Amino acid sequence: MSLILALLQQMSVFLVIGYLFSKSPAFRPLTGETLRTRHKIFLYFIFSAFSIMGTYFGLPVQGAIANTRAIGAVLAGIIGGPLLGTAVGFTGGLHRYTLGGFTAFSCGVSTTTEGLIGGLVHLYILRKGRPEQIFSPPIAFAATFFAEMMQMLIILLLSRPFSDAVHLVQAIALPMMLANSAGAALFMSIMRDQKSMYDKFGAIFSARALKVAERTLGLLTKGLTPQSAKQIAGIIHEETGVGAVSITDHERILAYVGLGADHHREGQPIASDLTIRAIRENKVIYADGVHEFFTCAISPQCPLGSALVVPLRVDGDVVGTIKLYEPKNKLFLNLNRTLGEGIAALFSDQLLRSRYEEQKNLLIQSELKLLQAQVNPHFLFNALNTIIAIIRKDAGQARELLLHLSNFFRKNLKRSGDFSTLEEELDHVGSYLKIEKARFEDRLEVEMTIDPGLLKLRLPTFTLQPIIENAIKHGISGMLGKGIVKIVARVHEQGACIDIEDNAGTYCDQLHGGGLGMNIVDRRIKNLYGERYGVQVSCKPHEATLITILLPFQGGTIS
Amino acid sequence: MIRALIVDDERNAREELEAMLQETGAVEIVGSCANAIEAIKMINRERPEVLFLDIQMPLVNGFELLSMIDDDIMPHVVFVSAYDDYALKAFEEKTLDYLLKPVEPARLEKTLEKLSSRLHSGSQPAYDTSELRQIPCVCANRIKLIDASQLIFARSDLSGIHLVTPQGEYFTELTLKTLETRTPLIRCHKQFLINIAQIDEITLLDNGVAEIKTLAGHLVPVSRRYLKNLKETLGL
């Protein structure tokens, strides 16, 4: 009984060392999912040390040593597999052998065997596909218990004189089996807790990173502006809990949130050496506050002592920086350092995307301008020619046509805004059609059926004009007989529909190439509202071309 | 007085030009046409000295119209267009002039001066007219474009020129002479043109005449005068 207590006592010392180990950086390799060879070699030394310590802490009993050597060997086997287990067991065993005594050899053999048993348990758990059970204390208990039984058996088999061996086993079997098993289980439990703490830590870290990503998503779609920078800096400050956060472009502070905001002012030129270096060298600069200090260039009273400066890059060029600061009395967490670099990478991606979007929009805008400019001369000269002819016959009509022409051009010029109502679009198109009607006379007939509920529908400016012009320029004007253009605006289950139909049916050949004007209209709508909307063309040769513009619509207005 | 024909699909444009030409007092307007068919008919009938021709017209444009006119009655051509970026360049030297709509009276005066001197010197206008791919035909109240390679033969009678195709027979304002020079059809008779790809057999008859049987079974006469020519074309 006293032996059990004594063994438990020395096991406690052992556990304290184990506990300290679990808190030390040496424990880190065990937190990963898989062990590399490098880690295994490291663990070999650690567990071998445990095993040897177990022997040293042992109590001399009848010319042998009651000990906790088995714990190191079995655990090494369970955690690292048969090879590591056997190696640790052999090392611990060899050490025991050198200490002598009538069980020296049998103990050497049995410790090696125990390491191997641990390794076999490891293989068994993996084969069952339950790797999470490797750190299970009950399994460690059972494995060690079994391994100790084997040890007793080996002592009986190998130690001579046999009677002494029997005597010894009677005395130490139970205490050692219990003490080693309980020790192994407790040791495993310490490691498991520590490991799960690391996992939880990782989970918190991931959650925080994801939260920053989620909250800032889309903020940079308009590029790096003081507004977007302010919002982002606020979010990072909140989520990381660092002393202060600042965002700069390559010259100025765009946003500053946190400690020292009294003298770190937005709009100021960049003063910090660290930032200037980060921009110039296009690399992350880290002043940890221990080896390298952040020294405020503006105010000596500045509470900040450490900083991380991460460049924001677009296409490899630095367009700004994100800076995280901690005050002098606080350590800059490694976690925040990693997080900061990750956030900067995320923003760089967003900025690249926003630049792409911006260029795409610019392209569409300029194409639209080109289109507006391109339309006019042809239309203008034909219109003027028609009006000049009409002046001879009907000055009143000519006057009216000139007013329509002026309305058309005024609207064309003024329409720099992105959106108009359907009513405005129809007015613009109406003037255009009045002039074309005068030009083509009986050869052009226009039928309009507009749902009055749609008159306030907002749509991108210059949506109808290019399509109606196409219908006349490429359709009706090539017809000998009567050309009819039908314009219908109706509410459809998927949105608002505007149909433009002509009876020429000449668009079929161009269907795949598509007219420039129509393509731009389509792309603008898709860009604004998504792929579901846009322009659809269907054509029956020599009979009809139907263009359908689908726009989102809910109860009269569109945001 | 210069005899002029105006061709433009827009009535207002035609009327304006008519008025302006009349105001000059130097021009007699022999007609004013809205499309190519009318124009060819009028040219063949009236033999105008000058054509004021719009380029952008339905079905048959101004350039295409030129290739439907017989060389020996080809009038001088003045293109009239609102499109100064049009492929006019190529025709610039060949045509007498081109005017931009709306037409300025002073500019028109210059054109007429140029025209007068040309007419005076008696120079014949010659335009590089391209091969006709499509032939406009009148059918009922519309105009149909017949693919030239689809023709079997063409014949003329008192009512005019008829084109025979696998789809049927069509009436055209184009002359046999135009068809002979601008399409792959060859002359086999004073009143007939034949597409040699459509010949099935040729039967030689008495008096040096012959008869062609087409693949579709039509019989087309070959006159003595053109038999030799036909044989040469066929390599006989």
Residues A211-234: pLDDT tens digits?
A: 887 787 777 777 788 888 888 889
Least confident of A2-16, A303-317, A339-353, B89-103: B89-103
Residue A511 scores a pLDDT above 70? no
The neighbouring-strand residues paired with B78 are B52, B97
Say how far apart CA A76 and CA A55 lie, in whole Å: 16
Q: Identify the CA nearest to B174 among candidates B60, B73, B69, B71.
A: B69
Asked if B137 and B143 count as a contact pair (C-beta separation under 8 A), the reply is yes
B119 Cβ partners below 8 Å, 6+ apart? B2, B49, B76
Torsion sign, CA atoms A77, A83, A84, A87: positive
DSSP class of residue A557 equals B
In the predicted model, what is the mean pLDDT of chain A?
Answer: 84
Show residues of chain A in contact with B12, CB under 8 Å: 385-386, 389-390, 438-439, 441
Say how far apart CA A381 and CA A347 lie, in whole Å: 52
Query: Residue A39 has which token pair?
Result: 């880690």
Return the residue in B16, B134, B143 with the most chain A beta carbons within 10 A, the one to mutate for interface testing: B16
Asked if B99 and B111 count as a contact pair (C-beta separation under 8 A), the reply is yes
Query: Residue A200 has which token pair?
Result: 């939880």
CB contact under 8 A, B13 and A392: no
Query: Residue A528 has which token pair?
Result: 């604004």
B154 Cβ partners below 8 Å, 6+ apart? B161, B162, B163, B164, B176, B179, B185, B192, B193
**In terms of CA atoms, which chain B residue is nearest residue A440?**
B10
CB contact under 8 A, A381 and B100: yes
Say how far apart CA A54 and CA A70 lie, in whole Å: 8
CB contact under 8 A, A392 and B15: yes
Residue the block writes with tokens 């827009």: B10
A395 SS3 class: helix
**Chain B, 55-74: which have a CB under 8 Å from a chain A CB?**
56, 58-59
This prediction has a pTM of 0.58
Cα radius of gyration (chain A): 41
Show residues of chain B in contact with A384, CB under 8 Å: 101-102
**Chain A, 347-406: which have a CB under 8 Å from a chain B CB?**
378, 381-382, 384-386, 388-390, 392-393
Give Cα separations from B79 to A463, B53, B90 (angstroms): 35, 5, 12
**Is the Cβ of A444 closer than 8 Å to some Cβ of chain B?**
no
Q: What is the pLDDT of residue A515?
A: 63
Cα radius of gyration (chain B): 20
One-letter amino acid of A219: L
Asked if A244 and A264 count as a contact pair (C-beta separation under 8 A), the reply is yes
Torsion sign, CA atoms B39, B41, B44, B45: negative
**Is the Cβ of B100 closer than 8 Å to some Cβ of chain A?**
yes
Say how far apart CA A427 and CA A432 lie, in whole Å: 9
Residue the block writes with tokens 């098993």: A181
Asked if B184 and B164 count as a contact pair (C-beta separation under 8 A), the reply is no
Q: Which residue has the higher pLDDT, A314 or A258?
A: A258
Residue A495 scores a pLDDT above 50? yes
**In terms of CA atoms, which chain A residue is nearest residue B84?**
A378
Chunked mean pLDDT (size 10), chain B, 236 residues: 94 95 94 91 94 89 87 90 65 73 93 91 77 84 85 93 92 92 92 93 90 93 92 85
Q: What is the pLDDT of residue A539?
A: 86
Burial readout A526-544 (b: 16 or more C-beta within 10 A, e: otherwise) = ebbbeeebbbebebeeeeb
Q: Which residue has the higher pLDDT, A188 or B152?
A: B152
CB contact under 8 A, A384 and B19: no
Percent of chain A with pLDDT over 90: 22
Q: What is the pLDDT of residue B85?
A: 60
**Is the Cβ of A434 closer than 8 Å to some Cβ of chain B?**
no
Q: What is the pLDDT of residue B229?
A: 87
User: ipTM score here?
Assistant: 0.84
CB contact under 8 A, A386 and B13: yes
Q: What is the mean pLDDT of residues A423-430?
A: 93
CB contact under 8 A, A389 and B12: yes
**Is the Cβ of A479 closer than 8 Å to some Cβ of chain B?**
yes
Say how far apart CA B117 and CA B123 lie, in whole Å: 9
Give the containing element (helix H, strand E) for A37. Answer: helix A37-56
Say how far apart CA A86 and CA A46 lie, in whole Å: 14
Cis previous bond, A161, omega within 30: yes
Residue A528 scores a pLDDT above 80? yes
**Is the Cβ of B18 closer than 8 Å to some Cβ of chain A?**
no
Asked if A275 and A247 count as a contact pair (C-beta separation under 8 A), the reply is no
CB contact under 8 A, A385 and B12: yes
CB contact under 8 A, A389 and B59: no
Residue A510 scores a pLDDT above 70? no
DSSP class of residue B48 equals -
DSSP secondary structure string, A83-128? Answer: HHHHHHHHHHHHHHHHH-STTHHHHHHHHHHHHHHHHHHHHHHHHT
Query: Residue A487 has which token pair?
Result: 């314009």
Q: How do strand A253-258 and strand A244-249 relate by DSSP bridges?
A: antiparallel
Torsion sign, CA atoms A295, A300, A304, A305: positive
CA neighbours closer than 13 Å in the CB half-sphere of residue B43: 31
Smallest Cβ–Cβ distance between B15 and the set A389, A479, A480 belongs to A389
**Is the Cβ of B139 closer than 8 Å to some Cβ of chain A?**
no
Give Cα separations from B218 to B142, B157, B160 (angstroms): 27, 17, 19
Q: For A51-73, how does the pLDDT look when each residue is reduced to its tens digit (9 = 90+)?
A: 888 888 777 777 777 788 888 89
CB contact under 8 A, A438 and B15: no
| Long-range contacts, stretch A341-345, CB < 8 angstroms, 24+ apart | A341/A284, A341/A308, A341/A310, A342/A209, A343/A209, A343/A212, A343/A213, A343/A216, A343/A236, A343/A310, A344/A284, A344/A310, A344/A311, A344/A312
Asked if A385 and B16 count as a contact pair (C-beta separation under 8 A), the reply is yes
Smallest Cβ–Cβ distance between B10 and the set A378, A439, A480 belongs to A439
Smallest Cβ–Cβ distance between A385 and the set B16, B56, B143 belongs to B16
Q: For A69-127, how does the pLDDT look when each residue is reduced to its tens digit (9 = 90+)?
A: 888 899 889 988 899 999 999 999 998 888 877 888 888 888 999 999 999 999 998 88
pLDDT tier at A483, thresholds 50, 70, 90: very high
